Amino acid sequence: MDDLLWIFISSLLINNFVLAYFLGLCPFLGVSNRLETSFRLGLATTFVLLITALCAWFLNTYVLIHAPYLRLISFIVVIASTVQFIEMAIKKLSPALFKSLGIFLPLITTNCAILGLAIFATNRGYGLWEGLTFALGAGAGFTLAMVLMAGIRQESEINNVPALVRGTAFNLIIAGILSMAFMGFAGLFSST
């Protein structure tokens, strides 16, 4: 139980996917201009991450012991098609949910955070529950980073920022400062 809690906290704060591993930067810099959109994108990503952890566990346990060199290709194909199927199912079962989260799903599928999660979980030899906890923590961490970033960006729009600095350069420097702040969490588990 302690192990699972540690995995969750570590992937949420200390090794935040965006701010420490640089995974999922494209949506982090691209879509983070509105608070509400970022939050929903974060939820949708968490959902896909959970599915990914499930797929990766299944592939690692039943398929890839026989053919480890197919790891990368099978991860991509299986994750992308599973997400596609779930997208269709949601569209059929709950149009309201599809409207709020579904539009992001195709955008997320080939995101490096998704593939990164599958690869990290494999390299660390996580089982099913550990993988799912890892996915939940990583997704929550991604959402947290997105929401913080969107809040700062919304605030910065009404302030007087030089035109030359505006845009990606500005966002990257904000991300750097956020990342510095998150480094403080490394002290949480100094004894372990």
* One residue of 7, 14, 29, 79 binding another protein per CB under 8 A: 29
> From the list 4, 6, 9, 26, which residue makes contact with another protein (rule: CB under 8 A)?
26
Residue 127 · residue 113 · CB < 8 Å:
no
Interacting span for another protein (CB under 8 A) from 31-39, 40-48, 68-76, 131-139: 68-76
Q: Residue 158 in contact with residue 35, Cβ under 8 Å?
A: no
- Is residue 176 part of the contact set for another protein (CB under 8 A)? yes
Please choose, out of 31-39, 53-61, 105-113, 125-133, the segment that lies near another protein by the rule CB under 8 A: 105-113
53 binds another protein (CB under 8 A): no
Task: State yes or no: residue 164 binds another protein (CB under 8 A).
Answer: yes
Give the shortest CB-84-to-another protein separation in angstroms. 10
Report the residue from 5, 88, 89, 173 that binds another protein according to the rule CB under 8 A.
173
Nearer to another protein, 17 or 95 (CB): 17
Q: Which of 64, 80, 128, 147 binds another protein (CB under 8 A)?
A: 80
- Does 64 bind another protein (CB under 8 A)? Our answer is no
Under the criterion CB under 8 A, does residue 54 sit at the interface with another protein? no
Torsion of CA 152, 157, 158, 164, to 10 degrees: 120
Question: Residues 107-146 vs another protein: string with x where CB under 8 A?
Answer: ---xxx-xxx--xx--x-----------------------
The three state secondary structure string of the chain is CHHHHHHHHHHHHHCCCCCCCCCCHHHHHHCCCCHHHHHHHHHHHHHHHHHHHHHHHHHHHHHCCCCHHHHHHHHHHHHHHHHHHHHHHHHHHCHHHHHHHHHHHHHHHCCHHHHHHHHHHHHCCCCHHHHHHHHHHHHHHHHHHHHHHHHHHHHHHCCCCCCCCCCHHHHHHHHHHHHHHHHHHHHHHCCC
Q: Which two tokens stand for residue 188?
A: 């949480």
**Residue that has been written with the tokens 């990342």 in this structure:** 179
Q: What does the binding site for another protein look like in residue numbers (CB under 8 A)?
A: 19-26, 29, 69, 71-73, 76-77, 80, 110-112, 114-116, 119-120, 123, 164-165, 167-173, 175-177, 179-180, 183
